[in-house]
Structure 1
Amino acid sequence: MTRGETDFDPEAPEQREIGREMVDQSTGLGSVAAHLYRGEIERVTTWRDRLDRTTDWAVTVMAAILVYAFSSDGTSHAILLVGMLVIAVFLGIEARRYQSYDVWRSRARLLQENLFANALDPSAGVERPRWRAELSEDYRNPAIKLPYREAVGRRLRRVYLPLLTVMLGSWFFRIAAYYPDQTWLEAASLPGIPGLAVMGSLIVGYGLAVGVAAWPRERQAKGEVDETNYGEWKS
């Protein structure tokens, strides 16, 4: 019998109620699902650790640059500009890792909201009627589900926009405190680059980061705790 000729219908009530079956009777499927879920959670934890390590490195490098930038009067303010570029590089790396992290997290959430939640309270039914077919297709053809722009925006909101704000504020403070006898444009200049170009680039870059972080979009990331949902749960 070929795959197309099988009697399996993921939308059939008896198939959708697999969560009820897990608690109503002893089956091998329950054991398999438990091991499957344990493996997915382990992958989620591994990728979560990779995200944390990227953030740790970004914070460590930023702290080192800030200490060096304010260690002496002779240190150029360009080191703070380099620090912002380094943070942007870490942001790009972490956004890619976040996309991979979302692959495993989305699978774990699909099991949680349709299998285990239904096993605990079958009266509520499943959240996604075709969840078994969706999960099967994802195992056959795994793919990135989260757009890169949303991954960048989420990491900006959670981590990197505050880091960039600290670096930008430190740069403005150093310009104001360490060059009292010069105008802002004179103090901001670099060899071969006028101060207006430096300040303009900073303002445009920071504005772009704020825009990406605040841009309204439909939520694609699956499984993260959302503040609005938390408020509804509390009420």
Structure 2
Amino acid sequence: MSDSTADFDPEAPEEREVAGEAAGDRSDFLALMGHTYRGELGRTTSWRTRIDRTTNWAVVLVATLLTWAFSGGSRPHYVLLVGVAMVTVFLGIEARRYRVYDIWRSRVRLLEENVFANALDPEGVKQRNWRELLSEDLREPTVKTPLIEAVSRRLQRVYFALISVLIGSWVVRLTVFAESSTGVVETATVGQLSGGVVLASVALYYAVALGLTFWPGRRRAKGELQSRSGRDEWK
């Protein structure tokens, strides 16, 4: 073992606070920010891939169910309602992944806005205390996007369309493929559940999904492509 290694004391103040020296050296600090950016971008890409994977599963599920449900007149209509339930499960999984994804994405955007954008066109930083914000978030990572907003975002992007297709196909299945001797309400019966209860439950579910999709709450997620008038600051 070399003398330099033998003399190393990790508890010594100058060793313990070695990273703090980068704060006073511009070249060291900018090099450190470059490595930080690449690391956070890698995490962001990884979680973006997880979100896309869940979306792919949901799309494949919907396509498979529609193909099967309309491949014959004897197919039970409630299979499409099972598909709605399964898509809702995927929505919940994706909303949770979206909230974690936004942790890393918010750090990437903080660096892009206050370091790289200002280096290209030095008009001033977006947040004057961006170093403090980033430091606090690195020490104590927190979820910044409320669950209701995460659900709303994923409904807007993908899931409301998928749910609408399934429910619309279910309505077509009840009306077009129903026997002439039975009405829509009677055809909608599932087991011991009357058709009226099933129709009311589906209508209530769709109304809730519609309300969540266009939820008017203040935006907290950071970094998505959006119109200039809809931009928010990370606070």
Q: When the two structures are superposed, what TM-score results if normalisation uses the length of structure 2?
A: 0.85
Distance 1:33 1:79 in 2: 52
In 2 relative to 1, CA 184–228 (structure 1 residues): closer, same or farther, beyond 3 Å?
Answer: farther
Task: Give the superposition deviation at 1:89.
Answer: 0.3
Question: Where does 1:210-225 land on structure 2 (aligned, <5 Å)?
Answer: 210-225=210-225
Gap regions ≥5 residues in structure 1: 3-14, 231-235
Moved over 2 A (4+): 227-230
The answer to whether residue 140 in structure 2 is matched with residue 144 in structure 1 is: no
Partner of 1:189: 189
For residue 54 of structure 1, what is the amino acid of its counterpart? Answer: T
Gap regions ≥5 residues in structure 2: 1-12, 14-22, 231-235
**Across the two proteins, how many residue pairs are aligned to each other?**
210
Task: Give the superposition deviation at 1:200.
Answer: 0.4
- Percent identity of the aligned residues? 47
For residue 109 of structure 1, what is the amino acid of its counterpart? Answer: R
For residue 152 of structure 1, what is the amino acid of its counterpart? Answer: V
RMSD (Å) for aligned C-alpha atoms: 2.0
Task: Give the superposition deviation at 1:229.
Answer: 4.7
For residue 142 of structure 1, what is the amino acid of its counterpart? Answer: P
Task: Give the superposition deviation at 1:115.
Answer: 1.1
Partner of 1:164: 163
Question: Where does 1:1-20 land on structure 2 (aligned, <5 Å)?
Answer: none
Partner of 1:53: 53
Partner of 1:97: 97
What SS does structure 1 have at the residue aligned with 2:145?
Answer: coil
Partner of 1:76: 76
For residue 113 of structure 2, what is the amino acid of its counterpart? Answer: E
Question: Where does 1:196-207 land on structure 2 (aligned, <5 Å)?
Answer: 196-207=196-207
Q: When the two structures are superposed, what TM-score results if normalisation uses the length of structure 1?
A: 0.85
Task: Give the superposition deviation at 1:228.
Answer: 4.4
For residue 211 of structure 2, what is the amino acid of its counterpart? Answer: G
For residue 206 of structure 2, what is the amino acid of its counterpart? Answer: Y
Distance 1:227 1:180 in 2: 49
For residue 168 of structure 1, what is the amino acid of its counterpart? Answer: I
Task: Give the superposition deviation at 1:174.
Answer: 0.7
Distance 1:41 1:56 in 2: 22
Partner of 1:9: none
Task: Give the superposition deviation at 1:163.
Answer: 0.2
